[in-house]
């Protein structure tokens, strides 16, 4: 028995395209609202949310008297008699509330030129004033100062009444008129930077995280999005140009309004999912909560799916757990044709496999299965051996490396001829590596205009793995176990030699990435043959033996699951082929047959007690 030491194991978004301009709503108010940076925020890059409201600058310096709590016996008439400013009829008003003030000056200037008044507080007001835009304090609409360390600023009937009132409902408009409330035609809001704050490198304490949860912002966004027939809502600075163009026209494009409303609800949903994910980890922390939301952001529309008749797109997982966690989804493409649906699947399989190895390694993948794997101190030799394992399958495949691709390696990739005829230059769809030298990248670009050159970061361990089935999703821990995490228990009379142990560890790491039923034959840190995806293990074995050829003598064989039969079946055929050691999980009711068979042929058998199914 030998023991190996343990090792450490939003939402979719889219840019709104300018539509034909349409008629701005009839009654208007513009309000640039409150400070959008939470009082205890550790982020210095965001400060205030804006509500734009068209008002006279003379209202910028209103004074407020302290308001005391009243006994219930007192009537409302005893309350301080602050009279909210009521906008003049026909004024166009905008409510803007921004943490991220990108292009705020452009927006404010554009709105002001179109006749909108801007009302704001805090850092947003300052930014607008610096841009030469006139602003009015939001307090002058509410006749109430912000309170509770800024937690309550815009949560007021004078704000939400102006957003939610339906212009086509007479009693709505009469109610606004009775209380001196103006309507808002536009609401421009983005939220506290909760996502960036809780994923910052320095981390964040619980109380600071709580203070970064936006309340007023989502309330205004949802209110405006619900009433989008009358109120335009914008949550993304990329939509400012489209908004201004729309306002310059005389049409009423409801599709434009609906798309903005959809984006607003999606923005809030993504935000809420981040808060929910973070808070769950602060409480129970179990990986499988009773309810799960996965925010996805559209990265690209694909030419088609697995087949040309299937439409497809690629989304990036914006869950907090995926921040800086590596993987193909966040990889950089330096060159080549756009990635396809199948390219992403194959690149992911190749990258996940090669990243498991600590020594310089090359992995070649075809249809998500590694058809060639080799580890060597000399990465050029590793590359040649990986291709040699199955050059027919390697042609048109994906090549992955776990070390930087330099000038020398790039030349070898570009010029290497197929071992089948020594003449045909090898063709690949994708090359994946953690980095490239400047010269190496230049050389690879010269190999083909279509060759996709991908730079990726290693996937972190401990991720949640999701897989869709009809009407639902399966969730599980990622399979992060490596040979260093498990015990290889010798169960036969013959003990493997040191070199055989190294071979069986290498084979075991390879077989983990092969589709079940999976068999891998390896020697000297090089895959000699593999059989994958067969309904029975015997057929997978025969495929692997055929690929390994005469090199099978003394090699190691790994099976991703136990052998259900031994005599006149896979175990005996493997022994007769000349393999030196077999690794399997064990656990069959016929394990004794497998042990007896290996003892008969003088083959070492080790049980791992770990299965690596891959469907």
Assess whether the previous peptide bond of 517 is cis (omega < 30° from 0).
yes
Catalytic choice (82, 172, 226, 439): 226
If DSSP codes are grouped into helix, strand and coil, which group holds residue 455?
strand
Distance CA 95, CA 117 (A): 9
Distance CA 605, CA 586 (A): 10
Known active-site residue 547: no
Q: How many Cβ atoms sit within 10 Å of the Cβ of residue 378?
A: 9
Please report which helix (H) or strand (E) contains residue 51, including its range. Answer: none
Catalytic choice (287, 299, 334, 367): 367
Q: Are 49 and 190 in contact (CB under 8 A)?
A: yes
The Cα-based distances of 535 to 285, 299, 541, 571 in angstroms read 39, 36, 12, 17
* Torsion sign, CA atoms 68, 71, 72, 73: negative
If DSSP codes are grouped into helix, strand and coil, which group holds residue 358?
coil
Distance CA 595, CA 588 (A): 11
Q: Taking Cα atoms as reference points, which of 150, 100, 151, 274 lies closest to residue 204?
A: 274
Distance CA 90, CA 111 (A): 15
Residue 432's Cβ-side half-sphere holds a number of Cα atoms within 13 Å equal to 34
Q: Are 393 and 371 in contact (CB under 8 A)?
A: yes
If DSSP codes are grouped into helix, strand and coil, which group holds residue 369?
strand
CA torsion, points 143, 149, 151, 157, in degrees to nearest 10? Answer: -10
Q: Looking at the DSSP assignment, which residues form a beta bridge with residue 490?
A: 606
Known active-site residue 53: no
Distance CA 277, CA 356 (A): 28
b/e code 311-320 from CB counts within 10 Å (16+ = b): ebebbbbbbb
Distance CA 521, CA 544 (A): 7
Catalytic (active-site) positions: 226, 367
């Amino acid at each position: 028995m030998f023991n190996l030491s343990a090792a450490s194991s939003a939402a979719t978004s889219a840019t709104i395209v300018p539509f034909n301009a349409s008629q701005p709503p009839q009654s208007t108010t513009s309000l640039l609202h409150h400070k959008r940076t939470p009082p205890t925020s550790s982020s210095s890059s965001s400060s205030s949310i804006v509500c734009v409201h068209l008002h006279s600058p003379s209202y910028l310096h209103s004074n407020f008297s302290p308001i005391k709590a009243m006994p219930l016996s007192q009537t409302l008439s005893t309350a301080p008699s602050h009279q909210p400013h009521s906008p003049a009829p026909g004024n166009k008003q905008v409510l803007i509330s921004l943490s991220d003030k990108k292009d705020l000056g452009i927006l404010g200037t554009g709105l002001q030129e179109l006749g909108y008044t801007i009302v704001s507080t805090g850092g947003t007001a300052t930014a607008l004033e610096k841009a030469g835009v006139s602003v009015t304090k939001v307090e002058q609409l509410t006749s109430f100062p912000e309170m509770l360390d800024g937690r309550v600023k815009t949560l007021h009937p004078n704000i939400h009444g102006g957003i939610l009132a339906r212009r086509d409902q007479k009693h709505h408009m009469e109610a606004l008129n009775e209380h001196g409330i103006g309507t808002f035609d536009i609401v421009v809001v983005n939220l506290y930077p909760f996502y960036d704050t809780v994923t910052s490198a320095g981390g964040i304490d619980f109380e600071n995280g709580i203070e970064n949860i936006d309340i007023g912002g989502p309330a205004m966004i949802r209110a405006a999005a619900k009433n989008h027939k009358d109120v335009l809502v914008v949550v993304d600075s990329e939509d400012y140009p489209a908004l201004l163009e729309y306002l310059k026209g005389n049409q009423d494009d409801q599709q434009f309004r609906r798309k903005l409303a959809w984006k607003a609800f999606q923005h809030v949903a993504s935000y809420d999912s981040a808060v929910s994910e973070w808070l769950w980890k602060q409480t129970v922390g179990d990986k499988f909560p009773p309810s799960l939301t996965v925010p996805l952001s559209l990265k690209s529309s694909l030419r088609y799916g697995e087949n040309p008749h299937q439409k497809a797109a690629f989304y990036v997982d914006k869950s907090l757990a995926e921040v800086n966690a590596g993987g193909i989804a966040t990889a950089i493409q330096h060159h080549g044709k756009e990635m396809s649906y199948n390219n992403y699947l194959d690149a992911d399989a190749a990258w996940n496999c090669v990243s498991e190895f600590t020594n310089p390694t090359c992995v070649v993948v075809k249809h998500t299965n590694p058809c060639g794997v080799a580890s060597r101190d000399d990465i050029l030799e590793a590359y040649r051996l990986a291709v040699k394992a199955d050059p027919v399958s390697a042609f048109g495949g994906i090549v992955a490396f776990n070390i930087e691709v330099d000038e020398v390696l790039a030349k070898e990739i570009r010029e290497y001829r197929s071992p089948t005829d020594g003449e045909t230059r090898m063709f690949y769809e994708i090359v994946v590596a953690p980095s490239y030298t400047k010269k190496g990248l230049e050389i690879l670009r010269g190999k083909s205009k279509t060759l996709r050159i991908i730079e990726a970061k290693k996937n972190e361990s401990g991720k949640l793995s999701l897989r869709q089935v009809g009407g639902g999703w399966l969730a599980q821990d990622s399979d992060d176990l490596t040979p260093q995490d498990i015990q290889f228990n010798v169960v036969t009379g013959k003990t493997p030699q040191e070199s055989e142990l190294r071979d069986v560890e290498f084979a075991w790491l390879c077989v983990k990435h092969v589709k079940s039923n999976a068999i891998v034959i390896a020697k000297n840190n090089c895959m000699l043959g593999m059989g994958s995806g067969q309904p029975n293990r015997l057929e997978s074995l025969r495929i692997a033996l055929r690929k390994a050829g005469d090199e099978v003598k003394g090699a190691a064989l790994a099976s991703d699951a136990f052998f259900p039969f031994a005599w006149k079946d896979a175990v005996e055929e493997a022994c007769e082929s000349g393999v030196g050691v077999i690794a399997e999980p064990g656990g069959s009711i016929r394990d004794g047959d497998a042990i007896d068979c290996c003892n008969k042929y003088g083959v070492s058998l080790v049980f791992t007690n770990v299965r690596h199914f891959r469907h």
